[in-house]
Amino acid sequence: MRDGSGRYGLGLAALAAVAIPLAVIVALHPRVGLLRSATETVTPPVRTPEMPADSPARPAVPARACPVCPAAPAPADPGPVAVRDAGQEGPDTRVPGKQPPGSQSPGTAVPPSQVPDTRVPSRPVPEIQVPDVTAERAAQRARLIGWTAHPDRVAGSAAALDLIGLVFTAPRDTSAGYRPLALDLSGAPDRAVVVLAEQPVTLTLATTPPDRVAALGVESSAAFSVAEGRPGLLAGFRALPFGASEVAPVLDPLRVGPGTLRDACAALRLWATQFGLPLRQARYTLIENPTRIALAGEALQSDGAPRGRVSGRRLARLCRV
CA angle 205, 307, 223 (to 5 degrees): 45
- State residue 209 phi and psi, 5-degree precision: -70, 165
**47-55: average pLDDT:** 55
- To the nearest whole percent, how much of the chain has pLDDT over 70? 62
d(CA 272, CA 319): 13
Comparing 3 with 128, the larger pLDDT belongs to 128
pLDDT of residue 83: 46
Instruction: Give the contacts of 300 (CB within 8 A, at least 6 positions apart).
Output: 162, 164, 285, 293, 294
d(CA 183, CA 14): 129
Q: Can you tell me whether residue 6 is helix, strand or coil?
A: coil
Comparing 48 with 292, the larger pLDDT belongs to 292
Domain residue spans of the chain: 134-318
Q: Is the pLDDT of residue 169 over 50?
A: yes
CA distances, 141 to each of 53, 197, 227, 238, 248 (Å): 95, 17, 14, 10, 19
Beta strands in 251-316 (DSSP E): 282-288, 292-296, 299-302, 305-311
Burial class (CB in 10 A: 0-12, 13-18, 19+), 286: buried
- Tens of pLDDT, residue by residue over 308-321, are 999 888 888 888 85
Q: Tell me 288's DSSP state.
A: E
Q: Are 160 and 189 a contacting pair, CB within 8 Å?
A: no
Comparing 162 with 34, the larger pLDDT belongs to 162
How far out from the chain centre does Cα 1 lie? 95
**21-37: average pLDDT:** 59
Q: Is the pLDDT of residue 7 over 60?
A: no
Q: Is the pLDDT of residue 65 over 50?
A: no
Comparing 173 with 78, the larger pLDDT belongs to 173
pLDDT of residue 119: 63
Burial class (CB in 10 A: 0-12, 13-18, 19+), 200: middle
Name the average pLDDT for the chain: 78
- Tens of pLDDT, residue by residue over 182-233, are 999 999 999 999 999 999 999 999 999 999 999 999 999 999 999 999 999 9
- Best CA proximity match to 289, nearest among 267, 313, 305: 305
pLDDT of residue 118: 59
pLDDT of residue 237: 97
- Best CA proximity match to 300, nearest among 199, 161, 170, 169: 161
pTM for the full predicted model: 0.61
Q: Can you tell me whether residue 41 is helix, strand or coil?
A: strand
Beta strands in the chain (DSSP E): 40-41, 63-64, 160-167, 179-187, 191-197, 201-206, 216-220, 224-227, 234-239, 282-288, 292-296, 299-302, 305-311
